[in-house]
Amino acid sequence: MGKITILIVDDELLMCEELKCQLDLYSELEVLAVCHDGEEALARAAELKPDLIFLDIQMPGITGLTVADVLSRQLQPPRVVFLTAHDEYALKAFGVDALDYVLKPFDENDINRVIAKIKKQLYPPGKPAPEAQEQCLPGHSTDFQRKFCVPKGARLEVLDQEQIQLVYAKDRLVFIQTMEGAAHQIKSTLNELSAKLDPKLFVRCHRNYIVNVDAIQSLENWFNRGYLLVLKGKTRSEVPVSRQYVRNLKDYLEF
């Protein structure tokens, strides 16, 4: 089975470059082309037939919404993820059956969320994704790091991802906290860890916190329309969910 093919459409050149750089980090993805206006996007989409299009809403001439509307009439239309700097466009985006929308400026957590969604659509249960098929090949590794080494005295302890309760930043330091309640300082940044953690298991809920979804015990209202997560484990932990990350959490929890 081939890679997930992608078309990028945005009139901002730097935005296209940044997005392509992030997508190129995924071995199971292939960016087929980059377009900068709606007319070119329609022509390239008809020619290349990508699985997914990252599509800017506001462009000179033919808008992204118009492009999406035209594509939606195809027999096998590509999935569309809208790129926008304005949250008000979200409802319009979903009005034309978009897979998702990403607010500018985006980060790797936004891209992880989108890729997880497209995989669920293209590779439902029982149909392995490309990396699941490839991992049985000699010398091939998966996209996400299966184990982490953390310092424990004079030695390094090996942790499976399932043993991690949360990852957090405090006083410019980053820690991995296990289900047993032990906190280990590590050298990686939160952004670096976010790219290594399985997005099916971990969610970014705050600029300083990434949590294991399976560790979430309860959800409480918090100030400024945010929430407070209570995590189960040997040590009870409370983690804030800031307003801008609530939508990320709703991809994992129904509330």
Q: Which pLDDT score is estimated for 28?
A: 86
Q: Which pLDDT score is estimated for 96?
A: 66
In order of their start, the domains of the chain are 4-134 (3.40.50.2300), 147-250 (2.40.50.1020)
Q: Which pLDDT score is estimated for 134?
A: 41
Q: Which pLDDT score is estimated for 222?
A: 79
Amino acid at site 182:
A
- Angle 222-220-203 (CA atoms, 0-180°, nearest 5)? 90
Give strand pairing partners of 8: 34, 54
Q: Which pLDDT score is estimated for 163?
A: 94
Q: Looking at the whole model, is its pTM more than 0.85? A: no
> Does residue 71 contact residue 45 with C-beta atoms inside 8 Å?
yes
List the beta strands (DSSP E) in the chain. 4-9, 29-35, 52-56, 79-84, 100-103, 147-152, 155-160, 164-170, 173-178, 183-186, 202-206, 209-212, 216-221, 227-231, 237-241
Q: Comparing C-alpha atoms, which of 91, 36, 88 is closest to residue 64?
A: 36
- Angle 180-183-186 (CA atoms, 0-180°, nearest 5)? 135
Q: Which pLDDT score is estimated for 93?
A: 56
Per-residue pLDDT of the chain (255 residues; tens, 9 = 90+): 578 999 999 999 988 988 998 888 888 899 999 999 999 999 999 999 999 999 999 898 999 989 998 998 888 899 999 998 876 655 555 566 788 888 888 877 888 889 888 888 887 665 555 544 444 333 333 457 888 888 887 788 899 999 999 999 998 899 999 999 999 998 888 888 888 888 889 998 988 999 999 999 999 887 766 789 999 988 889 999 987 788 888 888 888
In whole angstroms, give the CA distance from residue 242 to residue 200: 20
